[in-house]
Structure 1
């Protein structure tokens, strides 16, 4: 039986706290209060504490772009003044065209629910980009196929999604049904954090309302798919942290029209593991897997054991990654944040 969040009995562990964060607290910081960032706006931030939601007081010249929903920060107990950002266990971020730095999506996420629907929105190339994002961050990806109730046969979608990455979990749900909570329960336990990503109109907000058991008064606005082109309407406009009825937390994100990749070498290697395993067998160490003699990857294509479209998508993402990579990826994609704050 699922339990709801009771703010009067919350602990730090209920909020997602672990020894990873505990080890970062200095002996001179024991009087500070850890809280978890719930919303980030241009000039204000809110957080979730063991006592409930709080509005953070920001120091002068604080750049909120350096913070992500899901971050842990230390605050003054009486004033809620933000003192310091703790190092992240995982960090989801994406490249944005023309920007010098990556856009932060969510922090300290255990599982990434990559949401798509059983219709024309299903797109191999776009799902692979989300998988790269999750792999690089070190989160567990799960593809959630929505609108299963509107599809005569979901098995082709389940099979196509499962083929995207080795050992990938794929779940088909009706986002409006309570059965969706049951299907996703393995990743939504107490203290666990999931994030929802996907294009607009695939049912992310509907799924959030189900996972969080939101009432009609508190529910996230939802919007459908436009007839004719299956393009979604934006309903979520900012990222936010919500309690799940299973005792965990969910971070909702706006739909992404584009998702560029950069500094995601680890993420690509995990996604295309079958290509990476063949590469050492090539005659030339720097084989591009195009026309070189003795190429094990091309031999697999010729033998029918490797999909040529899959190879083409790997090549496109690898080239894009090389063009956008300006710094080395940190462990599991967890780059050092630019804002560190001052230790007391």
Structure 2
């Protein structure tokens, strides 16, 4: 009997995450952990845990891994590492150490694994961190990522749910990588679109975090598997509302074309279902709706900054060269509801 060939890229990245509804159903049943030094836990779905060690130092800890979303193992390693490292930057922290997490079929060429690890190691080095080890298991499919530890001053932690009415919302990377990768898997994505998606996914959020450091952001998160709307919903935490302007959304241009051709992900539809009743669309084209639900792999930072600092902060991020923009603002009307208008 012929064995089935092992396929490297079946569709992965942050589209492989459990849906937000299913995840919330499980997490709400976990017992709370109380420790005065635990500054950030899992109680409001933040990007990383933060534990205070001294009056001046807190540890930021995160973990992320997923299956490949591109065919090139080296690029996949870069993307997976950049995605895991991003959680440290979303909290305002600095990367210190990382550990590899590997699932790999024993019958697959080990040179492929070597290229994955090489790509990941180079991103850890670029982040200024040290790759200190890891763990591997034999599995039927490839999965890779990192456990990352960073540090931050306890008084400078950027939580995801501290935005304030009147804040401007800045997104530091273009949307659409999930749609583009889906189109690529069925041979419909152009080289230009895929190159733009890879450039976005392999760019560390370190640079955007450093560019925003001189300002006074109230809240920050990175946009990954729950899509822009899902992560913004977590930021609002039922306390505030938000208004987004779909014409202001930075995006990979071809992603709208692919969305109109229904090259969509199941994960985006889970995101849409989870947010039913929490999003109001006003004359928003279908493709733009899909862009907002699209799960992003190694997506940009979504930052809530005082309105008077927004233009200067955006200019600092624009200097990095990736698509970014002021996409809307936080309101005190209709708490927990996101309005999307032109």
TM-score > 0.5, shorter chain as reference: no
- What band does the TM-score fall into relative to the shorter chain? under 0.3
Larger of the two Rg values belongs to structure: 1
Larger helix proportion of the pair:
2
- Bigger RCO of structures 1 and 2 (CA < 8 A, at least 6 apart): 2
